[in-house]
Chains A and B, each alone.
Chain A
Amino acid sequence: MSLRVLVGCKRVIDYAVRVRVKPDSTGVVTQGVKHSMNPFDEIAVEQALQLKEQKLASEVIAFSCGPAQCVETLRTALAMGADRAVHVTVEGAEYENMQPLAVAKIMKKLVEKEDANLVIVGKQAIDDDCNQTGQMLAGLLGWSQGTFASKVDVDGEQLKVVREVDGGLETVQVSLPSVVTADLRLNTPRYATLPNIMKAKKKPMDKLSAGDLGVDVSSKVSMVGVSEPPVRQAGSKVESVSDLVQKLKAKGAIA
């Protein structure tokens, strides 16, 4: 089966940037802060591109939903080598409150519209760490899923996925069509090369709204507050073991 791959690319605050909480504790500062593609989604794009290079996939479509700046994230995906991009616009407060379930519903519509038979997304986004979109999408579509993938092999109408689990590695066989979520060790994403960056400017990018797809993105979840973790208290050095025991007793840590 020739694979038509849909890849989810979320625009998140770049992981090298220091994240700061807004003074009113309603969230983190995003205005003027450098964003880039979620690192796990980059791995997802890379995997899709490798499948295309191995002639197992015929088309790689990058998708992102959010405000206008998502176009930059999609350009990066195109510059890496994706064939087309789809931007589903969601703005302002609606975007800030958007939940993985809404993303999954949008992706389901896109899968149907684009006739995709493989979806690859990062296992989670580094801003919310939800780790839900891939699994929810598989559930909504009634498709098989291979999550936390550190290796994916195509075997006819099946995928052999090695998953990273708490105890080590688990290998599962899933039937296509399927949703795969990418884990860290799946591959090393390529940089966008200069010739590809130039080519990307001419690649098609479709723009749709969530309404166009008939999806209601309103959320039943609202953010109550965001705060920094407590400042780590300084430790103290002790002179001897008996000193240590005395201090621990004083703190009530030992009897």
Chain B
Amino acid sequence: PTTTAEVSAIMKYCHARNLAVVPQGGLTGLVGGSVPVFDEVIVSLSSMNKVIKVDPVAGVVVCEAGCVLQKLCDVLSDEGMTMPYDLGARGSCQVGGNVSTNAGGVRFLRYGSLHGSVLGIEAVLADGTVVDSLSTLRKDNTGYDVKQLFIGSEGTLGIITSVAISTPPTPEAITVCFVGCRTFADVLKTFSAAKHSLGEILSACEFFDSDSMMLLERNLGLSNPLGTSYPFYVLVETSGSDASHDEEKMTKFVEAGGSFENGILTSDPSKVQSVWELRENITVALMRDGAQHKFDIS
């Protein structure tokens, strides 16, 4: 379908005939939510990919459910804004699916849940009724907050057709620090230290183990930036509006040390991307070994 009216018509038709429906978006889900199990009609939102409105002052984007996350980021970056969540699958995942599954992603630490950043939803219920909760207001206490039900409902309550999301300003400076830890207790200490010394500029803290690094090296040919193997690796990212201010904070965090050894630090976008590549490709590396394990726990 290319319009909400079309989605409504499809749902009305199927509802009248008791036909099961599976909505699909970017097909990047890791838990089989988009996989039909019997004879379901598949409704793909991919053709509904228009960006309806961008409001740079309020910091809101209104778009159709089939918009790919990367494309939204590109459109928003022209206005100096970015999406309040980010996933490794950004090149294919669609916003409708992200909202339906209440995607967390790597910037969860900074921008929080979609329950907080989604401002409005337009969805089509099973019988074709269009629920228009597409508000762009940052705070709206009128009536029940119906849109919250759709966030994370995995398409069981309705098909999301449009979304209004609040968009934070693009950070001026992004710095990534990648360190090695000897024990998991040290990983936790590193995380606490990051929270305390980096405070409001902390935008991500991820860890993975030596087996994951080994698979990344063996199956994808990626290399360990630290040169030596550690039982655990921690990736700490800061995003802020002032590079020198962030650098000072990062320096203090790094100099305090204690719970990590070695480590690299970079603000070059290309290098930041390379370090994130390691974290984001663990699932792919695992897949090459034939295992369907996901390394995504918050």
Chain A residues with a Cβ under 8 A of chain B: 14-18, 34, 36-37, 39, 76, 188, 190-194, 197-198
Contacts and interface: CB of A to CB of B under 8 A. Distances in A.
A250 B263 CA distance: 62
List the 4 closest A-B pairs by CB distance, nearest first.
Answer: A36-B268, A191-B264, A16-B269, A16-B270
Contact of A194 (B74, B227, B262, B268): B262
A194 B270 contact: no
Interface range for B = 20 to 34
Contacts, number: 48
Contact of B265 (A34, A39, A192): A192
Given A191-B225, A198-B255, A39 B264 contact: no
Interface string B270-297: 1111000000000000000000000000
B273 A193 contact: no
B2 to A, nearest CB: 17
Interface in B237-274: 251, 254-255, 262-273
Given A76-B268, A191-B178, 15 more contacts: A14-B268, A16-B268, A16-B270, A16-B272, A18-B74, A36-B268, A36-B270, A37-B268, A39-B270, A191-B266, A191-B271, A193-B262, A193-B263, A194-B254, A197-B254
Contacts of A17: 269
Interface in B191-236: 223, 225-227
Given A191-B264, A193-B264, A194-B265, A36 B227 contact: no
Contacts of A198: 251, 254-255
B269 A36 contact: yes
Contacts of A188: 223
A28 B269 CA distance: 18
Contacts of A18: 74, 77
A194 B264 contact: yes
Interface in B131-187: 177-179
Contacts of B264: 191-194
Contact of A192 (B179, B266, B272, B273): B266
